[in-house]
Amino acid sequence: MIEVNIYRFNPETDKFPYMQKFNFEMPDRDIMVLELLNSLKESDPTISYRRSCREGVCGSDGMSINGKNGLACITPVSEVIKGNKLELRPLPGLPVVRDLVVDMTEFYAQYEKIKPFLQSDTPPPNQERLQSPSDRDKLDGLYECILCACCSTSCPSFWWNPDKFVGPAALLQAYRFIADTRDTRTEERLESLSDPFSVYRCHGIMNCVSVCPKGLNPNKAIGEIKSMLLTNKRHEAEIIASDGGGRS
């Protein structure tokens, strides 16, 4: 039997949020936090949380699990339980819609801001824009992000300035397109990040790296962006892009 404490808040009936205690009989095998939640929901259908693929691909069930952000569907209870207790809260820093469901508008607004799509000034080829294997390798560790928001909502800079600081998730995606040799808008992308807040509010505390359920390193991508902003690399990248470098 373990003690599970869940953050509860229904704006239609509750004036303030509260923690609700549940006693849960663990099965003989280890289970994921999502499975535990699903079992509790059978007894109390009012518990609200997002979930979809239940295999760490959709990024829907990000939440704070015993104080650390993670995906409920791929987090085994045995790995996170402390003193026979489990505490589940919504992702920190974002407005709570209900229970463990947060309003991700600010998160997606930052994602939209970095223009997360390939932009090329060169004429489209007949079939597709090709890339050399070595240039394609530069995107490893960047494209795998599932936008679960675990990283951005574990970042204090994002808590304080979610409207100005782009946040680790969107910055990882920004670098994914900056690093893409098929994209020719490197200068424009960097310029849009050159203000004192968008990138420079990252102080490298690396919570994002610690919590990423996909094992990605947004801090490294942010470091690359800062490095390009601080040196003349952006001009070199622009020259390479305008020369059609990387296309094969």
Whether 129 and 246 have beta carbons less than 8 Å apart is answered as: no
**Interface with other proteins: number of residues (CB under 8 A):** 18
Whether 37 and 47 have beta carbons less than 8 Å apart is answered as: yes
Judged by CB under 8 A, the chain residues 182 through 241 that form the site for other proteins are 193-201, 226, 229-230
CB of 194 vs other proteins, minimal distance in Å: 5
Distance from chain centroid for Cα 121: 29
Name which of 47 and 166 has its Cβ closer to other proteins: 166
Name which of 54 and 226 has its Cβ closer to other proteins: 226
Whether 178 and 117 have beta carbons less than 8 Å apart is answered as: no
Among residues 5, 161, 192, 217, the one that binds other proteins under rule CB under 8 A: 161
CB of 141 vs other proteins, minimal distance in Å: 24
- By the rule CB under 8 A, 160 interacts with other proteins: yes
Q: Which residue has the tokens 């518990």?
A: 47
d(CA 19, CA 6): 5
CB of 241 vs other proteins, minimal distance in Å: 21
Name which of 81 and 104 has its Cβ closer to other proteins: 104
d(CA 67, CA 87): 7
CB of 159 vs other proteins, minimal distance in Å: 8
Beta strands in the chain, from DSSP E residues, in sequence order = 2-8, 18-24, 62-65, 68-71, 85-89, 96-98, 101-102
CB of 19 vs other proteins, minimal distance in Å: 18
Name which of 116 and 156 has its Cβ closer to other proteins: 156
Of 54-62, 114-122, 126-134, 157-165, the window that binds other proteins (rule: CB under 8 A) is: 157-165
Q: At 238, which amino acid appears?
A: E
Instruction: Classify 58 as helix, strand or coil.
Output: coil
- By the rule CB under 8 A, 66 interacts with other proteins: no
Judged by CB under 8 A, the chain residues 117 through 156 that form the site for other proteins are 156
DSSP letter, residue 92: T
Site track 11-30 with other proteins (rule: CB under 8 A), x = hit: --------------------
Instruction: Classify 12 as helix, strand or coil.
Output: coil
d(CA 225, CA 114): 13
Residues in touch with other proteins (CB under 8 A): 156-157, 159-162, 193-201, 226, 229-230
